[in-house]
Amino acid sequence: MIGFLLRRLGWTVLILIGVSVLVFLLMQLVPGDPVRTMLGMAATGERVEEVRHQLGLDRSLPIQYLDYVAGVLHGELGQSLVLSQPVSSILFPKLLNTVILSAGSLLICLLVGIPLGVLAGARQYSLFDRGSMFLSLAGASVPVYWAALVIVSIFALQLGWFPTSGMYDTRNPGGLADVLHHLVLPAAAAAVVPTAVIARMARGTMVEALQGDHVRMLRASGVPERSVIWRHALRGIMPPVVNIVGLQVGYLLGGIIFVEVVFNWPGLGGQLYTSITAGDMPLIQSGVLFIALVFVLVNLITDVSVALLDPRTRKAA
Amino acid sequence: MVLSRSCSRRTSAFRRSGARALAVVFALSVLAACGGPGNAASGDAGPPRSGGTLAIGIESEVDILDPQRAGGWVSWRVNRQIFEPLVDEDLSVPSGQAAVPPLRPGLAESWEISPDGKVYTFHIRPNVKFHDGTPLDAAAVEFNVRRMWDKSFEFYDAKAAGQTTFVWQHLESVTTPDRMTVRFTMTQAFEPFLRLLPQGGSGSTGIISPTAVRTYGNDNVAEHPVGTGPFKFVDRVRGQRITLERNDDYWGDKPYLDRVVFRPLPDPSARVAALRANEVDMIAVPPPDSVESLQQAGFQISEGAPPHVWYLSFNMADPTLGNKLVRQAINLAIDRQGLATNLLRDTVKPAYDVQAPANAAYVENTAAYGYDPDKAKQLLAQAGYPDGFETTMMTSVDGSGQIIPVPMAEYIQQDLAKVGIRIKLDTTEWISYLTKWAQGTPSGVGWAQQSWGMTTPYWLYIATSSTLQAPNGPNVGRYSNPELDKVMAQAMAATSEADAAGLWKQANRIVTDDAAIAPIVNDKAPYVLSPKVRDFVSASEEWYDLNRVWLS
């Protein structure tokens, strides 16, 4: 198990280094001068050069990259070109907000997706099975952006149960209750597709598990059906379900950028968008690195959980 | 709650589907057809009342709360409530009553200009305090000017200097003859100076507390903005809100509002939804399609005539576009009124001069910019292109003040095709476009599009002076006309605003006769307000004041 962990951690570090080089190079390939954007249309060539020099943007690319890496290794993510503030002080709060939204969403996925799939699988071809699978097919096919707009129009505008967007009340920003009230709709919107996929996956593996010899054995021994499903069969389907949940977290993070835009949730997605439109390289680099880090960590956690649940997979890694 | 009403007009909204994906249209039309705070309140709401929080949904995140460094109108709309320049514009007069906002004393109570136009003496308003309690005096003003202009000054800031280059370009020295007097000496007479002081799209001359700059430094002062304006900074949570509160010690008309919250809502449908759900009291840049339904739902629309021109700069080095007749033909071949009405639903006005109407030198010229495709064809034939020609138009896909650049460029493409001019569109996202644009129109490109303008006619100098040809300046078509340069030099050196305006009008005519620029439309900068927002005024600027606004 320890060897497995070390190998996976080694890969994680290599992937992050690769991502940092890639992002740095991509930013250089993108046309557009951040200083020009900052100073606007009236800026003269001379003034643009002056500010470029001040920000160190007139140095050679390898020097700029090494400087950036040296900073990262010292825990310094650098300064935003436009905002003149430390990147960490801007990105950490945003990352936290994205994690809150993702966690809320994941909770919905797990609490709805797995039980739905398990019950549908246990009652194969019943009305419940057909109904829930039809809904999940629809859910899995819905564009996130559209789902978000429909959810806003029904639950915020027509019913007025929840606010349309944001993380806090505009006029009287409050505490935890205020955040939770604002969290429901975006978390639900982001959860639509992954919940549907998880439910379908859980149903499929459940159907398969219930046809297994050990289930027949349990049933023959008179073990109550409820216990067969929730104690024995469920345990067997956990590794593939955890795997798909891990994959769906990746999907969730991708979809959350759209959800953040529609619901104006102040997360990493919106910040990256703003930074990209301003060409604020230090912010973009670190933002993308954060997302890559979260992705890689989620994969790591998924692999470790599967390895814990199913010893056979440990050797494969 | 008002918003939980059933939504009866949903079906009618379906008909406006158009070419978009059905799914998005459905969702948007549900948004558009539901909610709203009922009918507009009747006109009489009694005398203004103090109190309340005004929440404004703004179209993008504000960059920084350092008025001298900040770029873009969105930032200045916030900074302007906190910071003030020496000379200001009176934005309490709507565009309908004053095409150009009158100048009024700001932090300078009065001023004198020497007869040769080179020396400006400003008398600083007494008993004004910064929000941190420190007094405003001549030394504070000098400190701010040196921050933007004097490279040897301890707090010189290259970004602030880069933004405000044109304001201070002729400044030779700044002195403080006494505690409340500041004197600027210029190397030459520079008539646009007073009008440039209250400008704010690209940097501004808003005065910051020197104590705050010393305490927090040039970079961090934006996190602790301290000015003299009607509102004080309370807090900022990036991506969520900027909160300001009334400055009870304000020297001028004290605001009625207790607080103002600016909330960035970059997604247009989220902006509309937040307004309908009463989460904000007003929004900027409503999607053109939503305006009518919002109005029907009882919201107020406030429009002005800011100094905005959506224009094309012709590439003078291009063998075809170098021909004046061709450029004149293009100007006559574009149906500006059609573009404004059919495509943009009258949220803009057709532009009939190189300067916007919010400018002392505006001369309406429908002969040059009206729609006359027959004459355009004649001119093309005369220029040796009876069958037209092919070229490329550069524009962005988004960006501040650009409205909807691609559909607008396509509209122009269709109009020009009717006279035989076949254009390819070269579109780029905003940040890359700005850099590309500033490099000047490359060979093979007939013209580049941009949106800009100022209430000072001096804008024409920035856009067309031969000394500011790209890449050194914003004259991206590299237009050069010695006669124009001469007239503009005289206008800048004029010693009265009236003389200057006359000369600038002459300059406009030269640019029009030469067809160096094709102005297309002027934006109306619409805002949508809840019926309880009172006395909001759209003056002829891209920004607004809030100290007369109140909530009923």
ipTM for the complex shown = 0.82
Neighbours of B493 (CB within 10 A): 17
Inspect the interface and report whether the beta carbons of B435 and A273 lie closer than 8 Å: no
Tokens representing residue A255 in the block: 């979809």
* In chain A, residues 125-144 whose CB comes closer than 8 Å to chain B: 143
Distance CA B227, CA A107 (A): 46
CATH for B309-523, among 1.10.10.10, 3.30.390.10, 3.10.105.10, 3.30.930.10?
A: 3.10.105.10
Tokens representing residue A164 in the block: 């349309």
What per-residue confidence (pLDDT) applies to B33? Answer: 39
Under DSSP, the state recorded for B177 is E
**A293 touching B (Cβ < 8 Å):** no
Inspect the interface and report whether the beta carbons of A31 and B35 lie closer than 8 Å: no
Inspect the interface and report whether the beta carbons of B263 and A166 lie closer than 8 Å: yes
Contacts of A46 in chain B (CB under 8 A): 472
pLDDT digits (tens, 9 = 90+) for B173-188: 999 999 999 999 999 9
Instruction: Give the nearest partner residue to A164 out of B64, B162, B270, using CB atoms.
Output: B270
- For chain B, the domains span 2-282+526-551, 309-523
Peptide bond into B471 cis (omega under 30): yes
Instruction: Tell me, yes or no, if the two domains B2-282+526-551 and B309-523 fold the same way.
Output: no
What per-residue confidence (pLDDT) applies to A216? Answer: 86
Distance from CA of B22 to the nearest CA of A (A): 10
Nearest CA in chain A to B258: A171
What per-residue confidence (pLDDT) applies to A316? Answer: 53
Inspect the interface and report whether the beta carbons of A264 and B64 lie closer than 8 Å: no
Q: Please provide residue A90's backbone torsions phi and psi, each rounded to the nearest 5 degrees.
A: -90, -40
What per-residue confidence (pLDDT) applies to B4? Answer: 34
What per-residue confidence (pLDDT) applies to B6? Answer: 34
Distance CA B331, CA B351 (A): 11
Contacts of B433 in chain A (CB under 8 A): 32
Q: Which residues of chain A register pLDDT less than 50?
A: 317
Q: Please provide residue A86's backbone torsions phi and psi, each rounded to the nearest 5 degrees.
A: -60, 135
User: Mean pLDDT, chain B, as a whole number?
Assistant: 89
Q: Give the mean model confidence (pLDDT) for residues B285-312.
A: 92
What per-residue confidence (pLDDT) applies to A297? Answer: 83
Does residue B526 register a pLDDT over 80? Answer: yes
Report the range of poorest mean pLDDT among B203-217, B424-438, B516-530, B537-551.
B424-438
Q: Give the mean model confidence (pLDDT) for residues B195-205.
A: 91
What per-residue confidence (pLDDT) applies to B2? Answer: 34
What per-residue confidence (pLDDT) applies to B15? Answer: 35
pLDDT confidence tier of residue B34, bands split at 50, 70 and 90: very low
What per-residue confidence (pLDDT) applies to B8? Answer: 34
Instruction: Give the nearest partner residue to B273 out of A79, A156, A261, using CB atoms.
Output: A156
Inspect the interface and report whether the beta carbons of A158 and B71 lie closer than 8 Å: no
Tell me how many degrees the CA angle A99-A100-A103 measures, rounded to the nearest 5: 80
What per-residue confidence (pLDDT) applies to B45? Answer: 67
Interacting residues of A62 by C-beta distance below 8 A, sequence separation 6+: none
pLDDT digits (tens, 9 = 90+) for A4-38: 888 888 888 888 888 888 888 877 776 677 888 77
Contact between B163 and A39 (Cβ < 8 Å): yes
pLDDT digits (tens, 9 = 90+) for B445-458: 999 999 999 999 99
Distance CA B64, CA B70 (A): 6
Contacts of B64 in chain A (CB under 8 A): 82-84
Instruction: Single out the residue of B419, B399, B221 nearest to residue B335, CA to CA.
Output: B419
pLDDT digits (tens, 9 = 90+) for B312-361: 999 999 999 999 999 999 999 999 999 999 998 888 999 999 999 999 89
Token pair 């939804």: residue: B273
Q: What is the Rg, in whole angstroms, of the alpha carbon atoms belonging to chain B?
A: 24
Inspect the interface and report whether the beta carbons of A165 and B24 lie closer than 8 Å: no
What per-residue confidence (pLDDT) applies to A136? Answer: 85
Question: Domain B2-282+526-551 - what CATH class?
Answer: alpha beta
